[in-house]
Structure 1
């Protein structure tokens, strides 16, 4: 009987030991399961953030392409406008010079050289004012100001 009691005690101790081990293993499994769920949740969040980032990058790329094409179109339009205004200004200058030449010839024939000088001076001043105005208009159109002229002198 003593042997049976000893074996029963031994079996009871082993059972308790196994239950403790099983309890510890169960706790580890629950802990690992919890960690796995947290990691899965984080992975899903990161995946969602990655997809959102891809979408934003795609949208920004499309917007950048649109802005580039609009900028090119605006530059072309600006160049056409500037070229047109420059051509108009050149044409006005040619007309003014032609008028001066014609006026000089008329007055030389009519009144002689002495009377012509005063008129020519006035005409030259008018043309000079008109050409300066045209030059200022072209400079403003091209975006050239005093600051740009000073920079050119420095180079």
Structure 2
């Protein structure tokens, strides 16, 4: 299974880049992993938010394969424990999911088309985090889930 992290926005900022790279490298001990950074749209200053979200959704939907399992990170999604995330990932692997895509939406969130396409909606917290930090938290939590699956000590250090 490939674990694929997708985000709409600019490249990783320096203050999170090292951590993202570290956890991404660690995840490769369990699954193939990749990042897909979808650049933000240009010339959107006078564009309504709904149009920005619609155009971003088109980019995401074009890039997704119909067999990809899409997990949308959304503040209205379900909150789960690290152990539940581990079980979730194991279930996807057991189902022979080819690609597990975790999507972090754009600055205005995502269009309804993405909500409809998502196989699962997950909320990291009721708090709102900057997108750059969400990337780091996401990578760390997926690594933590992988270490739980192997009964490794990282989760209980």
User: Is the pair's TM-score, using the shorter chain for normalization, greater than 0.5?
Assistant: no
Q: Normalising by the residue count of structure 1, what TM-score does the alignment of the two structures yield? A: 0.24
* Structure with greater helix percent: 1
Q: Give 1 or 2 for the bigger CA radius of gyration.
A: 1
Per residue, is there more strand in 1 or in 2?
Answer: 2
Higher relative contact order by CA 8 Å / sep ≥ 6: 1 or 2? Answer: 2
Relative to the length of structure 2, the TM-score reads: 0.24
